[in-house]
Amino acid sequence: MTAFETLEDYLDTVQTGDPRTAAVAQTIEAIAAACIDIAALVALAPLNEQREQLCGVSTVSGTEPAVLLESNQILLDALGDTPVACVVSRVNEQPVPMNVDAPLIVATTPLHRSAKIDINVPLGSIFSILPTPEGSGCRGILQPGANQLAAGYCIYGPQTILVLTLGSGTHMFTLDRELGRFLLTHSDVRINARTTEFSINSSNYRFWEPPIRTYVDDCLEGVDGPRGANYNMRWNASLVISCHRILVRGGIFLYPADRRRGYATGRLKLMYECAPIAFLVEQAGGRAITDQGRILDVEPESPHARTPMIFGSVSEVDRVEHYFLENRLMGRGAQLFSERGLFRQ
């Protein structure tokens, strides 16, 4: 039987002389333990009527199932004894102070797409670990994703898998339920540079900007179009599921800004959704951008700031980025996007 490295053993091997690396390792171990508890909570949700898992509750993001609040509390409790000064959570309108003089900040989506628990699709917890500017506590939370010390997500599906980066590759740890521990099963995951699969909610086509329309049109024309290949489309409205599929199979995910009310700056949250996913993707050899540039270079204006997001295989993200560049150079709605362009021959 193959002996797999445990998460704890892996974290021991990547520690350096920097005291923050020990703090990061301790925090990741606490988050991993919380994820095991959340996995159990999610699995039993339909059986536990006392918790009213499927009843809506109000959060900063709107009405969500009560299981989201419980997941949030599990994470907050787990981080209570860690070197974390402040937690930025999707659930809490204001940052949550923890250990004021501690060196780390955690940003988290405790249970991404929890509203879909009733249809039994995989859910996930996303997290980002940032340094605390000395003595700043919760005042130092607004940092670009490039400052992240670690990031990851835990996906609750047929297997419970923790996907993690500390800036030296992206790695997957699968939960052994009998041992109650995460074991390294996929080391240094790499995203395929080329793909014929894209993920976008095409029902919003009429609201998209020309570069997004052009990209999708080109894909849909298939082997007879400018791409010269038949493309598949996937959409499940889940950042975690989409990222996991792209890490394993390649592809591109697009959640652009559009002309609908409330969507001018996108809908995904920068600090606790886009930045950690972008860190994982880049460490796996992919790219993650807005319609203006690299996700990890964006400085959040508020804890719950939103952003457009496009990520995945390098070749496809590059193409979308060039479409946006051409659109800016030629002007909105330029003839370029109905006939010819750098990629449309």
pLDDT, tens digit, 9 for 90 and up, residues 126-161: 999 999 987 788 999 999 999 999 999 999 999 999
pLDDT in tens, 88-129: 999 999 999 999 899 999 999 999 988 888 888 999 999 999
Q: Distance (Å, rounded) from C-alpha 235 to C-alpha 40?
A: 27
Q: Which residues pair with 105 in a beta bridge?
A: 86, 130
- Reference 113, options 102, 125, 127; nearest CA is 125
Most confident of 15-24, 26-35, 61-70, 112-121: 26-35
CA angle 20, 26, 32 (to 5 degrees): 135
Any idea which fold 7-186 has?
Answer: Fructose-1,6-Bisphosphatase; Chain A, domain 1 (3.30.540)
Q: Note whether 154 and 243 are within 8 A (CB).
A: no
- The model scores a pTM over 0.75: yes
CATH class of the 197-337 domain in this structure: alpha beta
Q: Note whether 137 and 110 are within 8 A (CB).
A: no
- Reference 55, options 113, 122, 114; nearest CA is 114
Does residue 22 carry a pLDDT above 50? yes
Q: Which residues pair with 216 in a beta bridge?
A: none
DSSP state of 266: B
Q: What is the pLDDT of residue 60?
A: 60
As annotated, the residues of the chain forming the CATH 3.40.190.80 domain(s) are 197-337
Q: Note whether 218 and 272 are within 8 A (CB).
A: no
Q: Distance (Å, rounded) from C-alpha 284 to C-alpha 312?
A: 10
Residues 6 or more apart whose CB falls under 8 angstroms from that of 97 comprise 85, 86, 137, 138
Query: For residue 64, what pLDDT band results from cuts at 50, 70 and 90?
Result: low
Q: What is the pLDDT of residue 172?
A: 98
Does residue 345 carry a pLDDT above 50? no
Looking at the chain, the whole-number percentage of residues with pLDDT higher than 70 is 90
- Reference 26, options 6, 5, 12, 39; nearest CA is 12
Query: For residue 341, what pLDDT band results from cuts at 50, 70 and 90?
Result: very low
As annotated, the residues of the chain forming the CATH 3.30.540.10 domain(s) are 7-186
